[in-house]
Chains A and B, each alone.
Chain A
Amino acid sequence: MENAKIKALDFNFYYGAHHVLKNVSAEVIANKVTGIIGPSGCGKSTFLRSINRMNDVISDVKVEGKILLDGKNIYDPEMDVVDIRRQVGMVFQKSNPFPKSIFDNVAYGLRINGIKDKYFIQERVEKSLKDAALWGEVKDRLQKNAFELSGGQQQRLCIARTLAVEPEILLMDEPASALDPTATLKIEELIHQLKSKYTIIIVTHNMQQAARISDYTAFFMLGELVEYDLTSMIFTNPSKKITEDYITGRFG
């Protein structure tokens, strides 16, 4: 496929004796939204967390195969995991603002990366909050604690925080699963706007959401990548019976 930003090559992931991901090979296209669907425990979140090496923090895991980011294997021992995570941002399932002010939340990534210039930080915070469609709602209370925001606002704050360090890729692990329909819609609109600048991979439990927002869809089952194609193909004319059974709600 053209413009592959990420390539997984025979990627295997073991958690203890449990073989979580089995020979996953896939290419993720730049500036598109790729949705990952599949039943609980199919390995979709593990695959997502493999792309920014967040699984490194768990002990007793083993990895085989490669994940290439712009042609470079992120599991190469010479790769700096901190650099990878700056390039590959992540938004978690449960919004996790830090117990700091709204401003400090967004500025956090800049500050830990050694940026001290106050004006630069201010500008970037404002830009990130605007990009995350949150600026209008918080511009008068940037010094308030982030916990005062609603659930949907907190999740958009986490997106703004991720955007502030200017990653190239956005990983989203069921970012709207804990939100009400209105807040979910806002997040979906936001994803749609963001894809011109970022390559987005989103794990979702919600089939309609995957159909609405993703250009490509990958279907995982029992640790294997069963089918991966244009979203329009997966949802209208899946090549495998099991994919059709899943998306029509016969199991899962």
Chain B
Amino acid sequence: MKKRQLQEILGFNLLRVCMVLVLLTLAFILYDIISKGAGKISWEFLTAMPRNGMKEGGILPAIVGTVLVTVITAILSIPFGMGAAIYLNEYAKDNNLTRLIRMSIRNLSGVPSIVYGLFGVILFVQAMNIGTCVLSAGLTLGLMTLPWTITASEEALKNVPNSFREGALALGATKWQAIRTNVLPYAISGMLTGTILGLSRAAGETAPILFTGAAFYLPFLPRSLFDQFMALPYHLYIMSTQHHAITQVRPIAYGTALVLITAVFAMNLFATILRYRLRKTKME
């Protein structure tokens, strides 16, 4: 009895230490970025072009570039990801082929992002001759987020009780009617949440856009989808490792990092609020 109690206390405290360590790391990162980056944030920093060899001015083109690329990513990954998930979960027969496809999708979500970047160069930039631009980068990020979107959407669909489907079918609904009126309304919040979390990860990626469209420095905003662009994560990378006056631009790097994590945090918050509101309106 004594020994079991000791084990219980020991195990519980071990888990507690793990959690505290993780939280402390996160808190330290946040503290470091906010304390060193907050001073740099100003209206000018957010709305001006970089000046004087990027040693002064703002990061507007990087913000605009990241937003544009994320929009392209969303346009690709939301419909295709949700569509594929609906097909896999509702229509595909549960056989070895489907299991193989599902396993491949799970594995694709673990492929390093640099591999997606190189794949994007070959497919979009070269083979399809789109060139290095917003569109190529967005499509590459879209491909990268698809496995996450599909997996999250499929989980959301799985959570809808089978009795909703059977009940609708038994009343003479076609399969699509049953899905549209009695499955999707209860899965959509989970599907969207998973998708937005995927997008927020994509927005912070550097490797996939490195070769497909992101530029070191541009004195102008992209005027079309076929222009190169600056992006927050890539800008951050340059400011912290590649710039010739690296100590001088350190505050800009911290400011950029703060803007980037704030954007990602805002998207995650939006996903949470969306899920909460959809669930509330649908289930009451």
Chain A interfacial positions (CB closer than 8 Å to B): 52, 54, 57, 59, 82-83, 85-86, 89-90, 92, 94, 96, 98-99, 108-109, 111-113, 145, 158, 161-162, 165
Task: Assess whether A96 is in contact with B93, with CB atoms less than 8 Å apart.
Answer: no
Instruction: Give chain B's interface residues, CB within 8 Å of chain A.
Output: 93-95, 161, 163-174, 177, 181-182, 186, 282-284
Residue from B161, B166, B172 whose CB has the most chain A CB atoms within 10 Å: B172
Minimum CB distance partner of B173 in chain A: A112
Nearest opposing residue in chain A for B172, CB measure: A86
Q: How far is the CA of A85 from the CA of B171 in the complex (A)?
A: 6
Assess the A158–B167 pair: CB atoms within 8 A: yes
- Within the complex, what minimum Cβ distance (angstroms) separates A177 from chain B? 15
> Do A54 and B169 have beta carbons less than 8 Å apart?
yes
Residues of A within 8 A of B170 (CB): 52, 54, 85, 89-90, 92, 162
Closest Cβ of chain B to A126, distance in Å, is: 18
CB distance from B170 to the nearest CB of A (A): 4
User: Does A96 lie within 8 Å of B164, measured CB to CB?
Assistant: yes
Residues of B within 8 A of A96 (CB): 161, 163-164, 166-167
Task: Choose from A82, A99, A158, A161 the contact partner of B283 (Cβ within 8 Å).
Answer: A99
Enumerate the 5 nearest inter-chain pairs by beta-carbon distance, A residue then B residue, closest first: A86-B172, A96-B163, A109-B171, A90-B170, A112-B173
Contact check, A162 vs B93: say whether CB atoms are below 8 A apart: no
Are the C-beta atoms of A59 and B282 separated by less than 8 Å? no
Contact B95 A94 (CB under 8 A): no
Q: List 9 A-B contacts (CB under 8 A).
A: A59-B93, A82-B172, A90-B170, A94-B163, A96-B163, A108-B168, A108-B171, A112-B174, A162-B171
**Residues of A with C-beta under 8 A to B182:** 98, 108
B283 CB contacts on chain A under 8 angstroms: 99, 145
CA distance A130 to B170 in the complex (A): 21
Distance in angstroms between the alpha carbons of A54 and B283 in the assembled complex: 27
Contact partners of A112 in chain B: CB under 8 A: 168, 171-174, 177, 181
User: Inside 8 A of A94's CB, which chain B residues have their CB?
Assistant: 163
Do B163 and A59 touch across chains, with their CB atoms under 8 A apart?
Answer: no
A109, closest chain B residue (CB): B171
Q: A98–B166 contact, CB under 8 A? A: no
| Contact present for A83 and B95 (CB under 8 Å) | no
Task: Kindly list chain A residues whose C-beta atoms are within 8 Å of the C-beta of B161.
Answer: 96
Task: Check B166–A85 contact: CB distance below 8 A.
Answer: no
- Choose one: B171, B174, B186; the contact of A161 (CB below 8 Å): B171
For B172, list chain A residues within 8 Å (CB): 82-83, 85-86, 109, 112-113, 165
The chain B residue with its CB closest to the CB of A95 is B163
Question: Whole-angstrom distance between the alpha carbons of A112 and B172 in the complex?
Answer: 8
Q: Which residues of B contact A54 (CB under 8 A)?
A: 166, 169-170
Question: Which residues in A have their C-beta under 8 angstroms from that of B95?
Answer: 59
A83 / chain B contacts, CB cutoff of 8 Å:
172
Of all chain A residues, the one with the shortest Cβ separation from B186 is A99
Complex Cα distance, B93 from A145, in Å, reads 34
Q: Contact: A57 with B94, CB < 8 Å?
A: no
**Which residues of B have CB within 8 Å of A109?**
171-173
Bound Cα distance from A139 to B283, whole angstroms: 21
Known: A57-B166, A112-B181, A145-B284. A82 touches B174 (CB 8 A): yes
> What is the bound-complex CA distance between A98 and B93, given in angstroms?
25
| A199 CA to B283 CA, complexed, in Å | 35
B180's nearest neighbour on chain A, judged by CB, is A112
Nearest CB in chain A to that of B177: its residue: A112
> Which residues of the other chain, B, contact A90 by a CB distance below 8 angstroms?
170
Which residue in chain B gives the minimum CB-CB distance to A56? B169
Give the distance in Å from the alpha carbon of A165 to the alpha carbon of B168 in the complex: 12
State whether A59 touches B173 (Cβ < 8 A): no
Query: What is the minimal beta-carbon distance from B107 to any residue of chain A, in angstroms?
Result: 24
Chain A residues, CB < 8 A from B282? 99
Q: How far is the CA of A219 from the CA of B93 in the complex (A)?
A: 34
Q: State the Cβ distance, A121 to closest chain B Cβ, in Å.
A: 14
A182 to B71, CA, bound (A): 58
Q: Which residue of A82, A83, A162 has the most chain B CB atoms within 10 A of its CB atom?
A: A82
Which residue of the partner chain, among A82, A92, A113, contacts B167 with CB atoms under 8 Å? A92
Q: In the bound complex, what is the Cα–Cα distance between A145 and B284 (angstroms)? A: 6
Tell me which of B165, B171, B186 contacts A57 (CB under 8 A). B165
Which residue of the partner chain A has the closest CB to B95? Answer: A59
Q: How far is the CA of A96 from the CA of B165 in the complex (A)?
A: 10
Nearest-neighbour CB distance to chain A for B43, whole angstroms, equals 47
The CA-CA distance from A113 to B173 in the complex, in Å, is 7
Output the least CB separation between A156 and chain B (Å).
15
Chain A CB within 10 A, most for which of B93, B163, B181? B163
Q: Contact: B173 with A82, CB < 8 Å?
A: yes
Shortest CB distance B233–A (Å):
41
Question: With contacts A108-B171, A108-B182 known, what are 12 further pairs, Cβ within 8 A?
Answer: A52-B170, A83-B172, A92-B170, A96-B161, A96-B163, A108-B168, A109-B173, A112-B168, A112-B171, A112-B173, A161-B167, A161-B171
